[in-house]
Amino acid sequence: MNKTKIAVLVSGGGTNLQALIDAQKSDIISSGEIALVVSNNRGAYALERAKNAGIKSAVVIKKECIDQYDFEQKIIDILEENNIELIVLAGFMSILTERFTSKYDHKIINVHPSLIPSFCGKGFYGLKVHESALEYGVKVTGATVHFVNEIPDGGEIIMQKAVDILEGDTPEVLQKRVMEQAEWIILPLSVEKISKQIQSKRR
146 is known as an active-site residue: no
Strands (E), the chain: 4-10, 32-39, 56-59, 86-89, 108-112, 140-147, 157-164
CATH number where 58 lies: 3.40.50.170
Using CA atoms, how far residue 156 sits from 9, 93, 107, 130, 183, in Å, is 19, 20, 12, 22, 17
Local structure of residue 182 (DSSP, 8 states) = I
Name the pLDDT band for 26 (thresholds 50, 70, 90). very high
pLDDT at 95 exceeding the cut of 90? no
CB 38 within 8 A of CB 59: yes
SS3 73: helix
User: Can you give the pTM of this predicted structure?
Assistant: 0.95
- Which of 106, 112, 130, 146 is catalytic? The answer is 112
Name the pLDDT band for 107 (thresholds 50, 70, 90). very high
Looking at the structure of the chain, the number of domains it has is 1
In degrees and rounded to multiples of 5, residue 106 shows phi and psi of 60, 25
CB 14 within 8 A of CB 45: yes
* Residue among 76, 102, 109 nearest 4 (CA): 109
Whole-number average pLDDT of the chain: 95
Arithmetic mean of pLDDT, 127-146: 96
Structure confidence at residue 179 (pLDDT): 96
Domain span at residue 72?
4-202
The CA-to-CA distance between both ends of the chain, in Å, stands at 9
